[in-house]
Every structure is written in C-alpha cells, then in structure tokens.
C-alpha cells in the first residue's frame, strides 16, 4: 500500500479529520491533503510526527512493513533491553523456548 493511501486510511481509522491531524503535527490542512492525494511527500520529521499521532511505526506508515507492531510488546522489549546482560540472557532463553514450543504446537495441530 502506498504512503498516501495508508495515511488516509489510518487517519480515518483513528477518526481524525484532516484538520485535527494537521493541527497535531503542526502542518497546514492543505499540505496534509496533498500527502493523502500523493501529490507531495512529507519530510522525515513530519512523517515521524504523523506516525506518532496515528500510533503506528514509521515503517508501517510508509509501507516498508505490513506488520503493525503491538505497543505493549514493544514496551516489554524495551524493558528487557534495559536489564543487566545476565537477566536479558535468561529471559531471552526462556522466551526462545516458549516460541519454539508454540511453533511446534501450531505445526502439529
């Protein structure tokens, strides 16, 4: 999906008017309209603000990935990254085992 289409779809999904979203990211509503029509592309700074306002990753907004990342999972990963190395190793070892088991269950069901 193209950036313009995804932007418009996400804006509508979040029930924002063009005016509301434009105000949140500090751009003129006409500029947002050009983005949604595909007539223009935002700067990286503006695209980042749009992604933040729409609660998606920049990669998802620009169409680099189709995977919409769950914010709670992202927060858990960030928490794990901040832990001491030994704790991270133990948590990731256990997580790898649980993922392996879940994949095996799916394969045999």
Mean pLDDT over 18-25 rounds to 97
> pLDDT per residue over 37-58, tens digit each?
999 999 999 999 999 999 998 9
Could you give the CA distance from residue 10 to residue 105 in angstroms, rounded to a whole number?
34
Domain ranges for the chain, please list them: 3-62, 71-107
pLDDT of 4 higher than 90? yes
Query: pLDDT category, 1, cuts 50, 70, 90?
Result: low
Q: Which of 7, 28, 6 has its CA nearest to residue 19?
A: 28
64 φ/ψ angles, rounded to the nearest 5 degrees: -70, -25
Superfamily designation of domain 3-62: lambda repressor-like DNA-binding domains (1.10.260.40)
With a CB cutoff of 8 Å and minimum separation 6, the contacts of 93 are none
Range 72-100 average pLDDT: 95
Position 67 confidence tier, pLDDT thresholds 50, 70, 90: confident
């Amino acid at each position: 999906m193209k950036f313009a289409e995804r932007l418009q779809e996400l804006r509508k999904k979040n029930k924002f008017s063009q005016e509301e979203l434009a105000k949140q990211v500090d751009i003129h509503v006409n500029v947002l309209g050009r983005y949604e029509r595909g007539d223009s592309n935002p700067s990286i700074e503006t695209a980042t603000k749009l992604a933040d306002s729409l609660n998606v990753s920049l990669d998802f907004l620009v169409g680099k990935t189709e995977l919409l990342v769950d914010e709670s999972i992202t927060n858990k990963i960030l928490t794990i990254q901040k832990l001491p190395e030994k704790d991270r190793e133990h948590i990731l070892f256990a997580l790898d085992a649980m993922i392996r088991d879940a994949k095996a269950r799916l394969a045999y069901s």
